[in-house]
Chains A and B, each alone.
Chain A
Amino acid sequence: MYQFAYHRPGSLAEAEKLFSAAEDPKFMSGGQTLIPTLKQRLASPSDIIDLGGLKDLAGISVADGVVTIGAATRHADVASSAEVRKAIPALADLAGWIGDPLVRHRGTIGGSIANADPSADYPAAVVALNATVHTTRRTIAADDFFTGMFETALHTGEIVTKIAFPVAAQAAYEKFRNPASRYAMVGVFVARTAGGVRVAVTGAAPSVFRQEAMEAALGKSFTPDAVAGIKVSPDGLNADLHASAEYRAHLVTVMAKRAVARANG
């Protein structure tokens, strides 16, 4: 790991101030992606601004049909929240399938979505549930938030503060895990929302995306059979030593079928 200066601000305002004063700073939340990245010398920030001291950023509340999760809320706390389990069980399931129990004790939802790893689980929930991302400067709609591989609509120095998930009539997540990393080789989140059926796919492409053909088919009939015949094109999908683009395309349909079956459970 290269050297860096470390800061632990006590407020968001202080965090932003430290960020603007530093040469090449990086915010850190749970550190479960950033620290491994630093250890491999794949990143060399001049300053790490640890948001771990901002206790107000963590917490879960459910009101008026919306589950609001603070950015610093750890995966383990979302997975074990009785409130989340009752309102959007698929979201609690998803959180409980991230990494392993030890990673879930440190990793946070805000860190996960700000990092926008193409194989991360939370982006699928944010997009399928049509969540709203709140930041230090504005609110960002789910469809506008994820813009590419490790790229989001966040501006330099902008911090995610909370994510608001509208409660869906039905929702479920299914993922085909990489057995070593636990990341999604393909993950599909389906949701029957106020604005219609939404299907979000993670792990398959450089960034989470919506599968419109499946959304249309599930809008007519919310059954596994409705998506079983939909063939996904491998064009533009990820190919690596774990899976070819063709295999990932195939898995999108399989995971979608399983997710709908789980939602109808």
Chain B
Amino acid sequence: MTAVSMTVNGKSVSADVEPRTLLVEYLRENQRLTGTHVGCDTSQCGACVVHVDGVAVKSCTVLAVQAEGASVVTIEGLAKDGKLHPVQEAFREHHGLQCGFCTPGMIMTAVDMIRRHPEGLDEATIRAELEGNICRCTGYHNIVRAIEAASAAMGAKEAAA
């Protein structure tokens, strides 16, 4: 067993884990944060996306021990004071989901995408940026619309601030 300490959604946590424990397993089974999903387990679907030190990664392809000292944010860490994050709000407003299984990963990827594109996002860029996230229900259309709307709303908010 190896001791690992990290910050998850702003809270310091530590545990002894087997080195082979994946970050997603650690989050779900040890931290009981089951919002992060395991879809394919082969690094393709993106249902497991979380932020590690500010960037979106597939938590099924990171060992928990690699996140030693890191700051991890999961879908549970987005809403503040009972208020949905603007991206979560946009997914609700634009019906960017059907079964919802891919949604946590989609939203974590979208938040990262919007951060990296402060100039704003067009449809082609959003679709290209969603390469690592698979949805089997929606055909992506409303997901793209939700991200476009969230990007515009967050940009407008920043401009007003």
Contact = CB atoms under 8 A, between A and B. Distances in A.
Interface string A23-63: 00000000110011011100000001010100000000000
Chain B residues touching A, majority SS: mixed
A43 B3 CA distance: 24
A181 B102 CA distance: 18
Contacts of A262: none
Nearest to B43: A36
B20 A102 contact: no
B68 interface: yes
Contacts, number: 73
A103 B18 contact: no
B65 interface: yes
Interface residues of B, number: 29
Nearest to A80: B116
Contacts of B112: 101
A182 interface: yes
A104 to B, nearest CB: 9
A5 interface: yes
A2 interface: yes
A39 B113 CA distance: 28
Contacts of A102: 46, 49, 56-58, 109, 132
B62 A38 contact: no
Nearest to A48: B19
Interface residues on A, range: 20 to 34
A6 B57 contact: no
Contact of B61 (A3, A36, A181, A182): A36
A35 B132 contact: no
B29 interface: no
Contact of A103 (B41, B66, B129, B132): B132
Nearest to A6: B19
B129 A35 contact: no
Interface of A: 1-6, 8, 31-32, 35-36, 38-40, 48, 50, 52, 76, 80, 99-103, 105-106, 180-182
5 smallest beta-carbon distances between A and B, as pairs: A100-B132, A6-B19, A100-B131, A102-B132, A1-B20
Given A102-B58, A102-B132, 18 more contacts: A3-B19, A4-B19, A6-B65, A31-B62, A32-B61, A35-B63, A36-B43, A50-B65, A99-B132, A101-B129, A102-B46, A102-B109, A103-B43, A103-B58, A105-B55, A106-B58, A106-B62, A180-B44
